[in-house]
Structure 1
Amino acid sequence: MTLFKGSGVALVTPFKSNKVNYQKLEELIEWHIENSTDAIIICGTTGEASTMTREEKKKVIRFTVEQVNNRIPVIAGTGSNNTIEAIELSKYSQEVGANGLLIVTPYYNKTTQKGLIKHYTTIADSINIPIILYNVPGRTGLNMTPKTVFQLASHPNIQGVKEASGNISQVAEIARICPDDFYIYSGNDDQIVPLLSLGGQGVISVVANILPKETHDIVSSYLSGKIDHARELQLHLNGLINSLFIETNPMPIKTAMNILGMDAGEVRLPLTKMEPQNIEILLNNLEEIGLISRR
């Protein structure tokens, strides 16, 4: 499989009474397919995988694969700080038909770069579908260096990286040293266009949960040569994007979805409801781009 180009939504997991709301999950999947989302990323950070049981993750991944039914790629979040557990979930995801895997760097353990190479290589050796590395040091406390990405890119099953360090110089170095067919995705919605300018292929997006078509259009416009239009879209959305990270993701995006009547449900502890003053900022930004009217 060739990895996707465009906007992959880091899909929220809708909850109701603290259980997965499968009816709503089905509705969200269909809505994204209808609105030009290029791939579904399930059980990632935005999907609150860290508060889901192993069985919940398996059921959600399988449900998503079956619902999408090969209309667009499904990328399953199978990362763990336990390599054996990551292998188990990765094998399961492959068995049920996931098109690829998003695997975050091990958190809390704080392994070395040598440990990262061994971790990812061991997982990649166990499966036969593409892996997207996921570097998000603000969450994990561990940065995967460009040199490590370069070494891992030589494995045939490791085909891309979601770069969420926020360090555009680091992205540039990855682009410089890695093969042209190694896909780089923005893990930061406010840096889609800058990353595309360095040869990136798209974004794994939070804002796409509420603006799938617009997020798709940023990437498709850039890749089709409409760079000015892509830049205008990026800058138009950046105020809202900033407010979606004013508190820990996915608290703001779920709040925004609920404001818009999308019934994403609550977040699971230890995440909580947003502070009122931050909800006000979010409301102002939703109104600014025309998603709501408060008059």
Structure 2
Amino acid sequence: MTKTRHAYVALVTCFRDDETIDFAATRAQVRRQVAAGNNIMCAGTNGDFTALTFDEKVRLCAEVVDEVAGRARVIVNAGTPATFETTLLAREVDRIGVDGIAVITPYFIACTQDGLVRHFSTVADAVQTPVYLYDIPARTQNHIEPDTARQLAKHGNIAGIKDSGGAQQTLEEYLAVSREHPGFEVYSGPDHLVHWALAEGAAGCISGLGNVMPDTLAKILTAFNAGDDAAAEAAQERFSAFRKDLYGLGYPPALVKRALWLRDPSVGASRQPALLPDAEQDRQIAKILERYGL
């Protein structure tokens, strides 16, 4: 029997004008994604996790889990620069109860590969919930080498990796690790590689762009799971084209949030010092949304 693949959306965190979290609006985004058939990753890059306090991350996790109410899977990013705080946060998330704890590579602190092994192993030792490595070197300046992933795959509570590096070669190398260690799952982060990654054996994807195009993302997965590669590829082509147009305007998470805001102002802006709204950019985003019937 072919294993079912899963799509997660790296959910935006909604803010009011005073930059406090709007939990009601965030719950509405959860409902929208669950209705489309997607799972949730909260407190990730598209969720402005670097701008959230410790206590806000804990409450955000609890609110999302409560809203999902078992209708979808939930993964929470508990990564911080230091192992000590990451472990504390992971334990809080573990207590709430989620399907997975993602741990982004430390940022600001330059890490050796041995340091990364110690970091992830310490967190995984401290919780019962399966831990997923989260590699996004362009943002953190620390990269999990494939051999390091291979070593960590042997840990009994490290269940896989989210690859947001954007390089197909690295994704291929992580997929090779998953073939060597069947319990180690690979989730694709680059939105233009979703269908390719599924075909190569990825367990699924974790997508930022799915915030704006939830139904198209879900279509890639449902079509693939049904064995309809033509429909999956057609949905991927639409997804990739939209990605190229939108992300061509600047920093992807900010553009995802702004594209959502143009359709639903309740999502709010990102916390400062993120990119301020720009009328000309908004006009360009609006044209893109219109072009894709959004």
**Residue 226 (str. 1) matches residue 216 (str. 2):** no
Q: CA RMSD in A?
A: 1.7
Shift of 1:4: 8.3
**Residue 210 (str. 1) matches residue 209 (str. 2):** no
* Aligned amino acid, residue 227 of structure 2: G
* Aligned amino acid, residue 30 of structure 1: R
Q: Is the 8 A contact 1:251 1:273 kept in 2?
A: no
Q: Which residue of 2 aligns with 1:47?
A: 47
Q: TM-score, normalised by structure 1?
A: 0.92
Equivalences, count? 288
Structure 1, unpaired ranges of 5+: none
Q: Which residue of 2 aligns with 1:61?
A: 61
Deviation per CA, 1:13-36: give whole Å up to 9, x if none: 000021110111121112222221
Deviation per CA, 1:117-159: give whole Å up to 9, x if none: 1100010000011111111111111221111111111112111
Deviation per CA, 1:271-290: give whole Å up to 9, x if none: 02254554344223212211
The verdict on how the C-alpha distance between 1:77 and 1:244 changes in structure 2, with shifts beyond 3 A counting, is: farther
Question: Of 252, 276, 288, which aligns to 1:285?
Answer: 288
**Residue 25 (str. 1) matches residue 31 (str. 2):** no
The verdict on how the C-alpha distance between 1:113 and 1:152 changes in structure 2, with shifts beyond 3 A counting, is: same
Return the alpha-carbon distance in structure 2 between the equivalents of residues 51 and 97 of structure 1: 23
Q: Which residue of 2 aligns with 1:195?
A: 197
Return the alpha-carbon distance in structure 1 between the equivalents of residues 280 and 241 of structure 2: 16
The verdict on how the C-alpha distance between 1:262 and 1:238 changes in structure 2, with shifts beyond 3 A counting, is: farther
**Residue 172 (str. 1) matches residue 175 (str. 2):** no
Q: Is the 8 A contact 1:81 1:105 kept in 2?
A: yes
Return the alpha-carbon distance in structure 2 between the equivalents of residues 277 and 203 of structure 1: 32
Return the alpha-carbon distance in structure 1 between the equivalents of residues 265 and 153 of structure 2: 38
The verdict on how the C-alpha distance between 1:196 and 1:274 changes in structure 2, with shifts beyond 3 A counting, is: farther
Q: Is the 8 A contact 1:4 1:73 kept in 2?
A: no
Return the alpha-carbon distance in structure 2 between the equivalents of residues 186 and 175 of structure 1: 10
Return the alpha-carbon distance in structure 1 between the equivalents of residues 212 and 9 of structure 2: 10
Return the alpha-carbon distance in structure 1 between the equivalents of residues 136 and 4 of structure 2: 20
Q: Which residue of 2 aligns with 1:269?
A: 272
Return the alpha-carbon distance in structure 1 between the equivalents of residues 184 and 281 of structure 2: 38
Shift of 1:249: 3.4
Shift of 1:226: 1.3
Q: SS state of the match for residue 267, structure 2? A: coil
Q: SS state of the match for residue 160, structure 1? A: strand
Return the alpha-carbon distance in structure 1 between the equivalents of residues 261 and 129 of structure 2: 35
Q: TM-score, normalised by structure 2?
A: 0.93
More helix by share: 2
Q: Is the 8 A contact 2:217 2:239 kept in 1?
A: no
Moved over 3 A (4+): 274-281
Deviation per CA, 1:35-82: give whole Å up to 9, x if none: 211x21111111101011111111111111122222211111100111
The verdict on how the C-alpha distance between 1:4 and 1:116 changes in structure 2, with shifts beyond 3 A counting, is: farther
Structure 2, unpaired ranges of 5+: none
**Residue 146 (str. 1) matches residue 149 (str. 2):** no
Q: Is the 8 A contact 2:13 2:21 kept in 1?
A: yes
Q: Which residue of 2 aligns with 1:128?
A: 128
* Aligned amino acid, residue 51 of structure 2: T
Q: SS state of the match for residue 264, structure 2? A: coil
Q: Which residue of 2 aligns with 1:36?
A: 37
Q: SS state of the match for residue 15, structure 1? A: coil
Q: SS state of the match for residue 76, structure 1? A: strand
* Aligned amino acid, residue 25 of structure 2: K
Q: SS state of the match for residue 290, structure 1? A: coil
Return the alpha-carbon distance in structure 1 between the equivalents of residues 285 and 190 of structure 2: 18
**Residue 251 (str. 1) matches residue 240 (str. 2):** no
What is the aligned-residue identity percentage? 28
